[in-house]
A = this chain, B = another copy of it.
Amino acid sequence: MSGKLYALSTGPGAADLITVRGARILGKLDVLYAPAGRKGGDSLALSIVREYLGEQTEVRCCHFPMSADSAEKEAVWDEVAAALEAEVQAGKQVGFITLGDAMLFSTWVFLLQRLQYPQNLEIVPGVTSFAAIAARAQTPLAMEQQSLAVVSCTAPESDIRQALAQHDSLVLMKVYGRFARVKALLAEAGLLDHALMMAEATLPGEQCWRQLSEVSDDQPLPYFSTILVNKQWKQA
């Protein structure tokens, strides 16, 4: 059997929100690469998929530095991409897992850019965090002719303001550490009653805030906190 690389999306967090295809592929892998937040630390992605792994699967945790030093990051991406391809060349079934969907805000894309043999690759899509948030909060993302923008709160304030003005609904990712600023932008746009915030959707620690006007600016938030805005859907 010739080697193959699978980029596997875990989905938003609950183990059973991975796809059937993803679960089946996990069961037949020779090697699984799992990204870890800290060196030697646990991998959330790995904890999601562990129940589907075959007994034969070797797990290798890899750490991607968060540093601003892009040379350091690029060296790690080069190294992991080369390691993945070496395993495939050796005839192995190799997986790389990513949280949410592999093609949206994922480190995986930096590895994809570095692959020499993308024909031995299958990317398995997954449920995005915002689809999970919409489902859990029973609040739609967009309907009919409406438009949806997915914006990172690390973007310039003017971009966020413009997106809030122009789209019917919005997903504001990476709220962590920026809640007060984003709340002020929502208030300025008159959208606080149309917004909700969710953290760790579908995981045991899931939290949901529907009255953002009453949430304190210094409310402690988990790392995975996202705001969903729908102008046609009132929360408060």
Residues of A within 8 A of B (CB): 7, 9, 11-12, 14-21, 23-24, 101-106, 109-110, 112, 118, 121, 123-128, 131-132, 134-136, 138-152, 154-155, 159, 162-163, 166-167
Contacts and interface: CB of A to CB of B under 8 A. Distances in A.
A167 B149 contact: yes
A144 B105 contact: yes
26 contacts: A11-B19, A12-B125, A14-B21, A16-B21, A17-B19, A101-B127, A103-B131, A106-B140, A109-B143, A112-B138, A118-B138, A123-B134, A123-B135, A126-B127, A127-B127, A128-B128, A145-B152, A145-B154, A146-B152, A147-B151, A147-B152, A147-B159, A148-B149, A148-B150, A150-B150, A162-B166
B147 A155 contact: yes
B141 A17 contact: no
A24 B17 CA distance: 11
Given A16-B19, A140-B103, A149 B147 contact: yes
A166 B167 CA distance: 12
A147 B135 contact: no
A63 B57 CA distance: 46
A148 B110 CA distance: 18
A127 B79 CA distance: 30
Contacts of A125: 12, 17, 127, 131-132, 134-135
B16 A142 contact: no
A81 B118 CA distance: 46
